[in-house]
């Protein structure tokens, strides 16, 4: 365990907002109820936050609808919307260090990752989508001389955004930036464990000149605030990132109410493939370690299933264990830390349960396997399993913790068979020196993103989402993300029979 003086000084350096942001003001929940968010690195309460429920969501939706209908955002000059989102990007950049610190305190994520995600990527997202606004054109359809037909995209209206705790502000930005860019009004519900950075957004949006009511943030519990969004008859679509279980609830809520479309980004059980002709470089080993342990494995596209050709297996295993031993687990505020705290003690215990199940099923722990008990925070060692087999629970279920499982195969064909034997389809990494093999695997894997000779989810410019049970047809990121928040309209203009 590392300890650092940062941890003691930290809360003085951030401003903590605990109220909801509805209709241009910071407000308590109508019921007056609150809930507590913890600092996962200490186990101590960090703040007491407004617990919004249906009544608050209703207020937020009314404000969002009014703002959408008055057109000040939804139908303004494209350049005006662009300038406001660029100002928001600039404000987020200005407050980047403080928001990164707040994120680290609230979620247990390392300050190094928070600086990158919150201070760097989040402002970039708002800037990138802002810049699309005055460069998006409609189309003119082929017609005969008697008609002109325009195909235009229009903002869908009031959207509900529900996000998880593993990348709190980043997941919010993935959805907010394109939704706002299209002209939609939004009601955002952050995860209850990590609402604090999202709660700062309302005020920054107001400072940036985004009209009142366009952006609302309702913290609260999933079954209350989240369900109220899912069931609301005046929300036009919901975009969700989180577990398959809650994704299924949201489909049910929509079916039982106004049949709103639901965009889903769900879990995964992604493979990391080392094919026969791969070269076992430092870069490959580093990619494998990051694929499993980055963000403490609390990552939907974590490559926990590492499927390695027998030719490389022993050397691979040795180098993975050596690298895993060098990972620094501890104080998230220390820039040298590689793995911070797990989000909650329940989640840490759940991951520990998977470790026991792996051992019971016959896999062998080469490193890790234990919680860190000399600290009140929720820490877990990175664990490396040898002898992973396709039927084991740890090879089939999403663990969402710092666990890497290694599986040996005798051919590339066997590797592919095992890789696709899952209900998920979010991501895969393939290492090979043969371009034909790389392309064959990239085409054959039923997943939303394939990384070749790297572990990467792509960039802001590339769409991200899942095949199979990892998601719906919608995509976050790239120009594709805009489509979630838009509807397509045909305008058919008859020119008369004499034209
Ligand atoms: P989760 O339990 O599904 O929660 C996600 C969000 O849904 C939270 O805001 C949660 O609120 C809310 N929620 C819970 N119950 C709800 C209900 N009945 N109705 C409406 N909303 C409800 O997921 P998580 O544990 O936070 O996140 C981990 C999951 O997210 C993993 O499965 C991971 O793979 C997935 N994920 C996917 C992607 C992707 O892009 N594909 C990215 C990141 C994470 P509370 O906080 O109050 O529970
Ligand atoms: Mg917290």
DSSP per residue over 233-246, as a string?
TT--EEEEES-HHH
The neighbour count for residue 279, using CB atoms within 10 Å, is: 12
Ligand 1 proximity of 166 Cβ (cutoff 6 Å): yes
The neighbour count for residue 80, using CB atoms within 10 Å, is: 14
Q: At 50, give phi and psi (nearest 5°).
A: -55, 125
**Catalytic annotation, residues:** 265, 300
Mutate to test the pocket of ligand 1, among 29, 54, 164 (most ligand atoms within 8 A of CB): 164
The answer to whether 151 touches 58, Cβ cutoff 8 Å, is no
The closest residue, in CA terms, to atom 11 on ligand 1 is 222
pLDDT in tens, 243-259: 999 999 999 999 999 99
Residues in the chain: 499
Ligand 1 proximity of 307 Cβ (cutoff 6 Å): no
Q: Ligand 1 mean position to 192 CA, how many Å?
A: 10
Chain position carrying tokens 């279920």: 397
Q: Ligand 1 mean position to 434 CA, how many Å?
A: 38
In CATH terms, is domain 271-465 a member of 3.60.15.10? Answer: no
Cα–Cα distance, 482 to 77 (Å, whole number): 18
Mean pLDDT to the nearest integer, 107-117: 98
Mean pLDDT to the nearest integer, 108-123: 98
Cα–Cα distance, 472 to 267 (Å, whole number): 12
pLDDT of residue 1: 44
Computed on alpha carbons and rounded to an integer, the radius of gyration of the chain in Å comes to 24
Give CATH 3.40.605.10 domain extents, the chain: 20-266
Sheet holding 364-367, edge to edge: 364-367, 383-386, 403-409, 305-309, 271-274, 427-431, 449-452
Cα–Cα distance, 86 to 313 (Å, whole number): 49
Ligand 1 proximity of 192 Cβ (cutoff 6 Å): yes
pLDDT of residue 10: 56
pLDDT at 458 over 60: yes
pLDDT in tens, 252-295: 999 999 999 999 999 999 999 999 999 999 999 999 999 999 99
Percent share of the chain, pLDDT over 70: 97
pLDDT in tens, 335-363: 999 999 999 999 999 999 999 999 999 99
Task: Point out the ligand nearest to the CA of residue 105.
Answer: 2
Mean pLDDT to the nearest integer, 100-112: 98
pLDDT in tens, 177-194: 999 999 999 999 999 999
The closest residue, in CA terms, to atom 20 on ligand 1 is 226
Q: Which residues contact 40 (CB under 8 A, 6 or more apart)?
A: 107, 108, 193, 340, 341, 342, 343, 344, 377, 378
CATH code linked to domain 20-266: 3.40.605.10
Ligand 1 proximity of 165 Cβ (cutoff 6 Å): yes
Q: Is 413 exposed, middle or buried (0-12, 13-18, 19+ CB in 10 A)?
A: exposed
Q: What confidence tier does 5 reach under pLDDT thresholds 50, 70, 90?
A: very low
Q: Ligand 2 mean position to 305 CA, how many Å?
A: 29
Task: Point out the ligand nearest to the CA of residue 103.
Answer: 2
Task: Point out the ligand nearest to the CA of residue 263.
Answer: 1
pLDDT at 399 over 50: yes
Ligand 1 proximity of 249 Cβ (cutoff 6 Å): yes
Cα–Cα distance, 78 to 289 (Å, whole number): 44
Closest by Cα among 295, 298, 328 to 3? 328
H helix count then E strand count, the chain: 18, 19
Supply 192's token pair.
């209850």
Atom of ligand 1 at shortest range from CA of 229 = 20
Cα–Cα distance, 308 to 51 (Å, whole number): 47
- Note the helical H segments in 137-258: 168-182, 196-199, 201-207, 227-231, 244-256
Using N-to-C axis directions, what is the helix angle for 412-420 and 435-444, rounded to 10°?
20
Q: Ligand 1 mean position to 163 CA, how many Å?
A: 6
State whether residue 349 is helix, strand or coil: helix
Q: Which residues contact 86 (CB under 8 A, 6 or more apart)?
A: 126, 127, 130, 131
Strand partners, 306: 272, 406
CA distances from 60 to 63, 234, 353 (A): 5, 11, 40
pLDDT in tens, 195-213: 999 999 999 999 999 999 9
Give CATH 3.40.309.10 domain extents, the chain: 271-465
Ligand 1 proximity of 400 Cβ (cutoff 6 Å): yes
pLDDT at 14 over 60: yes
Cα–Cα distance, 246 to 20 (Å, whole number): 23
- How would you classify residue 340: left for phi > 0, otherwise alpha for psi between -120 and 50, otherwise beta? beta
pLDDT of residue 498: 61
CA angle 295, 301, 302 (to 5 degrees): 55
Ligand 1 proximity of 241 Cβ (cutoff 6 Å): yes
Sheet holding 486-494, edge to edge: 139-140, 147-155, 486-494
Q: What confidence tier does 3 reach under pLDDT thresholds 50, 70, 90?
A: very low
Predicted model pTM = 0.97
The rounded mean pLDDT for the chain is 96
Q: Ligand 2 mean position to 195 CA, how many Å?
A: 7
The pairing of strands 25-27 and 20-22 is: antiparallel
Cα–Cα distance, 320 to 482 (Å, whole number): 40
């Amino acid at each position: 365990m590392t300890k650092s003086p940062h941890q003691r000084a930290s809360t003085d350096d951030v401003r903590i907002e605990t109220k909801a942001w509805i209709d241009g003001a910071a407000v308590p929940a109508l019921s007056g109820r609150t809930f507590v968010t913890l600092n996962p690195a200490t186990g101590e309460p960090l703040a007491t936050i407004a617990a919004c429920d249906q009544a608050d969501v209703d207020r937020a939706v009314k404000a969002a609808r009014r703002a959408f209908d008055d057109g000040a955002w939804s139908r303004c000059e494209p350049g005006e919307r662009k300038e406001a989102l660029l100002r928001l990007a600039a404000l987020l950049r200005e407050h980047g260090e403080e928001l990164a610190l707040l994120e680290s305190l609230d979620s247990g994520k390392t300050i190094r990752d928070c600086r990158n995600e919150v201070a760097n990527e989040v402002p970039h997202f708002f800037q990138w989508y802002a810049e699309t606004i005055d460069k998006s054109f409609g189309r003119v359809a082929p017609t005969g001389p008697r008609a002109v037909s325009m195909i235009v995209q229009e903002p869908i209206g009031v959207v509900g955004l529900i996000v998880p705790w593993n990348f709190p502000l980043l997941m919010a930005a993935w959805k907010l930036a394109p939704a706002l860019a299209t002209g939609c009004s939004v009601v955002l519900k952050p995860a209850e464990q990590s609402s604090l950075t999202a709660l700062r957004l309302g005020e920054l949006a107001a400072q940036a000149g985004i009209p009142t009511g366009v952006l609302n943030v309702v913290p609260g519990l999933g079954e209350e605030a989240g369900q109220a969004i899912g069931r609301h008859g005046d929300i036009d679509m919901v975009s969700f990132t989180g577990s398959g279980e809650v994704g299924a609830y949201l489909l049910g809520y929509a079916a039982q109410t106004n049949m709103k479309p639901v965009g889903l980004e769900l879990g995964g059980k992604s493979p990391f493939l080392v094919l026969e002709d791969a070269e076992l470089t430092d870069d490959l080993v580093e990619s494998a370690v990051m694929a499993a342990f980055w963000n403490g494995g609390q990552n939907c596209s974590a490559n926990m299933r590492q499927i390695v050709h027998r030719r490389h297996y022993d050397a691979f295993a040795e180098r993975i264990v050596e690298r895993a031993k060098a990972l620094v687990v501890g104080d998230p505020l220390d820039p040298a830390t590689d793995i911070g705290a797990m989000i909650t003690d329940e989640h840490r215990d759940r991951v520990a349960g998977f470790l026991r199940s792996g051992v019971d099923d016959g896999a062998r722990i080469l490193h890790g396997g234990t919680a860190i008990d000399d600290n009140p925070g929720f820490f877990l060692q990175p664990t490396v399993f040898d002898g992973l087999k396709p039927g084991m629970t740890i090879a089939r279920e999403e663990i969402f913790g710092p666990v890497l499982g290694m599986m040996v195969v005798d051919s590339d064909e066997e590797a592919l068979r095992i890789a696709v034997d899952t209900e998920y389809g979010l991501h895969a990494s393939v290492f090979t020196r043969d371009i034909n093999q790389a392309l064959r695997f990239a085409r054959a894997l039923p997943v939303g993103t394939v990384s070749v000779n790297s572990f990467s989810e792509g960039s802001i410019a590339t769409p991200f989402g899942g095949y199979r049970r990892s998601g719906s047809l919608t995509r976050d990121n790239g120009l594709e993300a805009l489509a979630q928040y838009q509807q397509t309209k045909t305008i058919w203009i008859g020119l008369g029979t004499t034209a």
